[in-house]
Structure 1
Amino acid sequence: MPDYRVVTTYDDGVEHVADDPYRFLPTLGEIDIHLIGEGRHEQLWQVLGARVRTYPSELGEVRGTSFAVWAPHARAVQVVGDFNRWDGGGHSMRVLGSSGVWELFVPGVEPGSAYKFNILSADGEWRAKADPMARRAQVAPQTASVVTDSTHEWDDEEWMRRRVEHNPHHGPMSTYEVHLGSWRQDHGYLDLAEHLVNYVKDLGFTHVELMPVMDHPYPPSWGYHVTSYYAPNARFGSPDDFKQLVDTLHQNGIGVILDWVPGHFATDEWALARFDGTPLYEHPDPRRGWHPEWGSFIFDFGRPQVRNFLVANAVYWLEEFHVDGLRIDGVASMLYLDYARGHGQWVPNQFGGKENLEAVQLLQETNATVYKRVPGVVTIAEESTSWPGVTAPTSDGGLGFGLKWNMGWMHDSLEYLAKEPVYRKYHHHKMTFGLTYAFSEKFVLPISHDEVVHGKGSLLRKMPGNRWEQLANLRAYLGFMWSHPGKQLLFMGTEFAQEAEWADGRSLDWWLLDQPAHWGVHALTKDLNRIYREHRALWEYDHVPDGFQWLDADDAAGNTYAFVRYGEGEGADRPSVVAVCNFSGSQRQDLRIGMPHQGRWLEVLNTDAEAYGGSGAGNLGAVEAVAEPHQGQPASARVTLGPLSTVWFVPEETKPAETTKPVETTKPAEATKPVEATKPVEAPKPVE
């Protein structure tokens, strides 16, 4: 097309000179259109949505924004925004053949401009829709999309290099789960890049897991009803602000996992719902396209372009934002056609079964694509059933996840801990049953947000007894959890024994850190993470039977458990940690415990230590294992256990493991109290 400009005179009598959008060729090529039609465009965000572009021109450089959207059943599409007074008459988009993609480059549209797509549906109605591929959204209750262009310069090269070289599935992983809106209220991404980063680094967690940061319409919600899958939550700042948070976490040696919700989406009429006037992103049959439990739409997993939208979205967060992993929400609800449905409310698959074969295909394709494109990351399934092969490779027919939440372990262990110690002997094997299947998958042990809401009470409040006993139970449980096979995940606030049940509408009760008993739990969590990272026996063989051995699983009358964790090696040189847990309310003295070999064993952890708020019962820093075989071991030692306590022993000559060292930061970590002490306020009822 020749280079020209259009001169227009309006009622103001002034000549307006503007470039003509229709003289520019489409910004999508034939290969892009083909891949979109096949549902195989792994970088879909590079061609759809809004992209700022610059073109050379004889009449001067032209800068503007190209808009592209998939709306196959639309009769017409206009792009409207603050740049055309929300009147799309002059910006009707062009459909590219039979692809269903509409496209137009609009000169002069700069970052920060708000826009929507005005879609003429088959029923003759115009509907204004936010961009499904928008990389930035307006702050709710506004609903438009926003043109954005990143200027962030990454400074995490060392982290990214090491990420490729390390396998996160077999390294140390203790994760701090965070709801950004209530960790501390009124903190944006840049505030969190200082306070949250310093706090997590001081505690020694290897990762943070962020509840959904993808934009969602209701501010105080948890974020699981998403409206903009490609846009970070605008309430906390810009996409570049979020990149700065991730960047800073990486510079301080902390990985980032995001909650990702491919199973269902929000019903808001301005978003994905009936996007082009027809069920496009959602399955048209409500028996497959409507989630009765959560009141949301279910994606049409069998439509190639919808599957492409989700697979590319997973890649987008990992590549564009340097995120290190995705925790996939509600996998069980995706896998089963009869999930939350009664008789006659679901449709069997082509073989007459209840398995959602299209959802299986989506999950397999997502995991295969992610692990192929982004080495060093991890995908984690929240899957609460016994579906086989969740963490098995897709080449073997598995779903291809890296890790799976161990919901059975969580439910069993919390049920046991809720009993008074005098009754625990009748439920003893609630704590051992998990080891019968602990190596059938690669597990994460989750104490997540789901366990501290809706009347369930905080983890502290789940414990029986008086306040001292509740705190002691909690400390002993954390010691048991950190030594159990599997990676650890702990929801925010639990690290200092949050008293109140979590509420998404207010900050954590940071004032509790002024109380020695709660500060003691905080100090214990810090030591757990430090000792855990130093001793590879606690994480190197998390997923294989060779990494675990019971010493005594049957002491129901005494409420004790004893076991050994092993790392790679042979004989007396093999890294090992002996863990002994006493969940009775009485001190145990002179308890004989088997040891892998004789010699001096250091007591590296005792949850009953006075520094943590315990009674101080212990073993004076070490025990001596003598050549007296016991519990299948060639040696044994006499140990003392405080009431409601866990102790760990390691051989005196053990050397700390060489784990990934945090990158030095230019800003020293602050004290472990990240905020001013505040008084607790009444919590609003949580909203799902």
Structure 2
Amino acid sequence: MLKAATGGATHGGARTGSAAGGGAVTDAAVAVDAVTSDSPDLTPKPFAPGPVAPEPVAPAPFAPDPVTPDPVADAPVAADGAIRVPEAPLAPGEVERLVGGWHHDPHGLLGSHDSATGTAVRVLRPLAERVVVDTGIARYELTHQQDGFFTGLLPRTAVTEGYLLRVTYAGKEFEQEDGYRFLPTVGETDLHLIGEGRHEQLWQALGSHVRVLDGVAGVAFSVWAPNASGVRLVGDFNGWNGAAHPMRSLGISGVWELFVPGIGEGTSYKYEIATRDGRRLQKADPLARAAECPPATASVVTESHYSWQDAEWMASRGRLPHHQGPFSVYEVHLPSWRPGLSYRQLAEVLPAYVHDLGFTHVELMPVMQHPFDGSWGYQVTGFYAPTSRLGSPDDFRFLVDAFHQAGIGVIVDWVPAHFPKDEWALAQFDGAPLYEPADPRRAEHPDWGTLEFDYGRTEVRNFLVANAVYWGEEFHVDGLRVDAVASMLYLDYSRENGEWAPNEHGGRENWDAVRFLQEMNATVYRRCPGVVTVAEESTAWTGVTAPTDHGGLGFGLKWNMGWMHDSLVYMSKEPVHRKFHHNEMTFSMVYAYSENYVLPISHDEVVHGKQALVSKMPGDWWQQRANHRAYLGYMWAHPGKQLLYMGQEFAQGAEWDHHEGPQWWVLDEQWPAHAEHAGVRDLVRDLNRIYQDTPALWQQDTDPAGFAWLDGGAADDNVFSFVRFDTMGRPLVCVSNFSPVVRHGYRVGLPTVRADVRDARWLEVLNTDTPVYGGGGIGNPDPIKAEPVEWNGRDTSAELTLPPLATIWLSPA
């Protein structure tokens, strides 16, 4: 006996419509009147009170109860025993809409529907030669009406516990379930939250999901396409012909849904959308959690089977606020770090490498699905799918888990600022602007030939907010670095007069984007404890890292693009000219506490003709490397967190190439050339080690009490000296000499370690001129004794030897 399908079969009564709002479907074309004109008059006679007895009434002629006609009475029987039942036809216009993919409620026509005369079963099977309904007790052959549309009127009692379809193609019979006998898999609560823009786990409602409904395994598909006239599902399971798989509209929600039995993980698919102007579009699923490997563009059904091993990491990662803890980041482009390695192969080497160098976090350039390698992931077409170039979503989970087990946090670049115009992706998704604004002055992104999101549309904002949550909840990422925030905040970004539309107040601020960023940050911090969001924001917008309840955008950290630009301008000058640019290095402290900053030397600074970091430096090869080392020493001591792009940790001389990746071969050279690159890497390792062990370098990054200039005005000497303090007042002194001459007996004021001690001793805990780093070995003997000589406004000072083009750090002995 076949088990009945709950929630879909309407046996025993007329179907009363689905969540799409469709009305009851009756089989008027085959119905007959069950009440005849010969029925007896059963109207009661008036009662006459009193002693007079009522007149006798002659008994009415016998009339049997009405009999429902049997649709299979005298029906012919096929050779295999299947009963050829009468048709249950529809008007040709309805069938044409259905087979043409323009019908909003195919479930109202297809499947099984009870009526007064029997159970109508209608099936859409293009190219089929024969369709038989198998109830487990009897088999009923349907009649082909037109264009692959088969119908039949079964006895009302025939379909009581479900049925199977036996469909014949090219002489071969296939057993199939009927997906049109199930109720929607998207619930009313989901639709309500989608409509309000508050579905924080949107990926669980939309997209593709393996389901078992009433014992029937298959995949539930759902997509938001409110402007579509019809949506059909195409994929490898139906030969990319959606004629047999029209989806139903779930009313005003704009969501279309279909459950397809008999398919599962690994199925490739797209949505075929019939537009209001008569076009047909094939679109990848915006909520797909996996995709085919480019250049293929289809979405792929996937489910996670990964078992996480990072419970300890997840429980402890939020104990210390990020702006008050050590935070040094190694930025990586996964496909090119070691070209050819998969997620799982990278997990065997990359976490160990980052851990060995002492970075606290790794930042991954976008891992979301993107069609063009040369975009480095910044033109995203699959916001919910890790790129399939390197493996499956569970493979990416394995990599994140490996980082966590190595004690390293994972930040991923996230790109909600724009998306590409590929015809199979988000652009004009249902034939009209949907994810992008309708006004082209707001839709077109002038810099990248892409489209911007419509942050004012409820469902679009929900799509992005839920996506941010998705990466935290589903992949355990520890942070999102949000790309191109400035382009979101300003309506006139990269636009000339007349090319942009002002806001409702006539201004240039994109208040819809502001509200979206605030909602995103507030939601992520609430749902994903311990996660940090980082803004790449290049303007002076106020309150990027201020709390949302104080009117800020709510980010945890912000890239300090001003520091990056100014400091690299200074470092690119010949030392003889640096005194004229001294303020390029000191200006950052004027605004250092306006936000919670990260100091980035990112991929953007080592590509497109900007040269590698070491190649930006003036002088011969030795001087370039010395400048490089001195700059890193200055950067790690400066207030703010650090970020360094791959390859710069060993001073590769060439720009980054996304095909070739870092120049690992330079590390294979033997001593003394070995120190030219491996020595720089050793320096980065020591910088991170001392950094993590020295709270003065990170504990008060956002507090003016954590920094003081010793001498910020020694422009003629190209020297900068300052002191960092932890919350206990323990100092670390940094002195950078950006001139190529040795400065002997250079007096520097020193902070008082103890009020009763004016001859404290100091140790040189870091010197970028150390021979093992590739330097000349000029430095200061330990210990350095402070003298009670006032200097730089300090009670004590010491005469130091400053190596050329070098940075030294001093700590109390």
TM-score, normalized by length of structure 1?
A: 0.92
1:541 maps to what in 2? 700
Q: Distance in 2 between matches of 1:196 and 1:47?
A: 35
Are 1:200 and 2:354 counterparts? yes
Moved more, 7-16 or 532-541: 7-16
Name the CA distance, whole Å, in 1 between partners of 2:577 and 2:642: 27
The answer on whether the counterparts of 1:192 and 1:245 sit within 8 Å (CA) in structure 2 is yes
Question: Residue 165 of structure 1 aligns to a residue in which SS?
Answer: coil
Choose which of 261, 280, 289 in structure 1 pairs with 2:443: 289
Match of 2:254 among 100, 108, 111: 100
- Which residue pairs with 1:643 in the alignment? 804
SS in 2 for 1:455: coil
| 1:599-610 alignment runs, 5 A limit | 599-610=760-771
DSSP-derived class of the 1:202 partner: helix
Deviation at 1:5, TM superposition (A): 2.9
Letter in structure 2 aligned against 1:601: W
Are positions 1:611 and 2:772 aligned together? yes
Cα distance between partner residues in 1 of 2:810 and 2:783: 8
1:238-267, Cα deviation, whole Å (9 max, x unpaired):
000000000000000010111111010011
- The reply on whether 1:575 has 2:730 as its aligned counterpart is yes
**Which has the higher mean CA deviation after the structures are superposed, 459-468 or 24-33?**
24-33
SS of alignment partner, residue 375 of structure 2: coil
| Equivalence map 1:668-679=2 (5 Å) | none
Aligned to 2:491: 337
Using the TM superposition, give the Cα deviation of residue 628 of structure 1 relative to its aligned residue in structure 2, in angstroms.
2.9
Is the 8 Å Cα contact of residues 675 and 772 (structure 2) preserved in structure 1? no
**Residue aligned with 2:208, SS:** strand
- Which residue of structure 2 lines up, in the alignment, with residue 455 of structure 1? 609
1:142, distance to aligned residue in structure 2 (A): 0.5
For 2:554 and 2:352, the matched residues in 1 are separated by 34
The offset of 1:64, in angstroms, is 1.4
Residue range with higher mean Cα deviation, 493-502 or 4-13: 4-13
Give the match's secondary structure for 1:134: coil
Q: Equivalent residue for 2:750?
A: 595
1:48 matched residue in structure 2: 206
* Equivalent AA in structure 1 for residue 689 of structure 2: R
Q: Distance in 1 between matches of 2:216 and 2:407?
A: 42
Identical positions, percent: 60
Deviation at 1:106, TM superposition (A): 1.1
Equivalent residues in 2 for 1:35-434, closer than 5 Å: 35-55=193-213, 57=214, 61-434=215-588
In our comparison, the structure showing a higher alpha carbon Rg is: 2
- The alpha-carbon deviation at position 588 of structure 1 amounts to 1.1
Please say if residues 625 and 651 of structure 2, whose CA atoms lie closer than 8 Å, have aligned partners that are also in contact.
yes
Q: Tell me the CA shift for residue 191 of structure 1.
A: 1.3
Superimposed CA distance per residue, residues 477-519 of structure 1 (whole angstroms, 9 cap, x where no aligned partner): 0000000000000010000001101111212110111232111
1:216–1:223 CA contact under 8 A, matched in 2: yes
Between the two structures, name the one with larger relative contact order (CA 8 Å, sep ≥ 6).
Answer: 1
Measured against aligned partners, the alpha-carbon deviations of 1:191-219 in whole angstroms (never above 9, x if no partner) come to 11112111111111111111111100013
Quick one: distance in 1 between partners of 2:480 and 2:510? 21
The alignment status of 1:13 with 2:168, answered yes or no, reads no
1:375 Cα deviation after fit: 1.4
CA distance in 1, matches of 2:782, 2:264: 65
Contact kept, 8 Å, 1:181 with 1:220, in 2: the verdict is no
1:503 maps onto 2:664 in alignment: no
Pairing partner for 1:623 from 784, 805, 813:
784
Give 3-state SS (helix, strand or coil) of 2:282's partner.
strand
Q: Deviations over 1:164-206 (max 9, x none)?
A: 3232221101001111122121111111111211111111111
The aligned residue for residue 519 of structure 1 is 678
Confirm or deny: 8 A CA contact 2:165 2:178 kept in the other structure. no
For the 8 Å contact 1:174–1:206, the answer to whether it is kept is yes
CA distance in 2, matches of 1:545, 1:621: 30
Q: Which amino acid aligns with 1:539?
A: W
TM-score (normalised: structure 2):
0.78
Amino acid at match of 1:111: E
Give the Cα–Cα distance (whole angstroms) in 2 for the partners of residues 208 and 173 of structure 1: 10
Q: How many residues align?
A: 644
Deviation at 1:146, TM superposition (A): 0.2
| Segment of structure 1 superposing worse, 642-651 or 503-512 | 503-512
User: How much does 1:110 deviate?
Assistant: 1.0
Q: Are the equivalent residues in 1 in contact too, given 2:649–2:684 (CA < 8 A)?
A: yes
Aligned counterparts of 1:154 and 1:168: Cα–Cα separation in 2 = 24
Question: What do residues 309-330 of structure 1 show as CA deviations (whole Å, max 9, x unaligned)?
Answer: 0000000001100000011111
Q: Distance in 1 between matches of 2:447 and 2:236?
A: 38
- The question of whether the paired residues in 2 share the 8 Å contact of 1:75 and 1:120 is answered with yes
Residues 604 and 621 in structure 1, CA contact (< 8 A), matched pair in contact too: no
**Corresponding residue for 2:42?**
none
Which position in structure 2 is the counterpart of 1:686?
A: none
Q: Which residue type is aligned with residue 20 of structure 1?
A: D
Letter in 1 for 2:678: W
1:427 CA displacement: 0.9
Distance in 2 (CA, whole Å) between partners of 1:339 and 1:362 is 18
Please say if residues 5 and 18 of structure 1, whose CA atoms lie closer than 8 Å, have aligned partners that are also in contact: no
CA RMSD of aligned residues (A): 1.1
Give the drift of 1:8: 2.6
Q: Please give the alpha-carbon distance, in whole angstroms, between the structure 2 residues aligned to 1:161 and 1:106.
A: 39
CA deviations on 1:579-614 (whole Å, 9 max, x unpaired) are 000001101111112222241211110001111111
Mapped to 1, the partners of 2:236 and 2:263 lie a distance apart of 9
The SS at the match of 1:440 is coil
Shift of 1:34: 0.8
Q: 8 Å contact 1:586–1:644 — kept in the other structure?
A: yes
Give, in whole Å, the separation in 1 of the partners of 2:337 and 2:405. 21
Deviation at 1:632, TM superposition (A): 2.6
User: Is the 1:5–1:17 contact (alpha carbons within 8 Å) kept by the matching residues of 2?
Assistant: no
| Counterpart in the other structure of 2:75 | none
Q: Following the alignment from structure 1 to structure 2, what is the Cα–Cα distance between the partners of residues 239 and 560? A: 50
CA separation in 2, counterparts of 1:152 and 1:504? 30
Deviation at 1:44, TM superposition (A): 0.3
Distance 1:315 1:110 in 2: 26
The more displaced of 611-620 and 219-228 is 219-228
Q: State the alpha-carbon separation in 1 of the partners of residues 316 and 812 from structure 2.
A: 30
Cα offset, 1:620, TM superposition: 2.0
> In the alignment, what sits opposite 1:560?
719
Match of 2:180 in 1: 22
Instruction: Say whether the 8 Å CA contact 1:485–1:543 is kept in structure 2.
Output: yes
Amino acid at match of 2:448: W
> Which residue of the partner structure matches residue 55 of structure 2?
none
Moved more, 181-190 or 1-10: 1-10
The aligned residue for residue 113 of structure 2 is: none
Deviations 1:505-558 (A, max 9, x none): 212110111232111101000000000000000000001111100000010111
